[in-house]
Amino acid sequence: MVLAAIYSALGILQAASLFTGERALRNFNFWGTLMCVAFACSVLFGFLAFRASRQAKVGSREAV
């Protein structure tokens, strides 16, 4: 997901530099939305993975 966010950010730069007018706006809206969704998913999944990792460590200490 982090790579998707980076790739989307590059798409925004491409839209800003290569295209003009309505096409640039459409590209910017598409890549901007994709970047925001990918970044939000990265944060969410990272948080869930961190929380699951902590719970697994706590559970393994209690079992010993």
Query: Which pair of structure tokens corresponds to residue 3?
Result: 């790579």
- 63 vs 44, higher pLDDT: 44
Positive or negative CA dihedral for 27, 28, 31, 37? Answer: negative
Q: What pLDDT is stored for residue 27 in this prediction?
A: 81
- 23 vs 63, higher pLDDT: 23
Q: What pLDDT is stored for residue 48 in this prediction?
A: 93
Contact indicator for 15, 28 with CB cutoff of 8 Å: yes
pTM, 2 dp: 0.64
What is the CB neighbour count within 10 angstroms for residue 55? 10
Q: What pLDDT is stored for residue 3 in this prediction?
A: 78
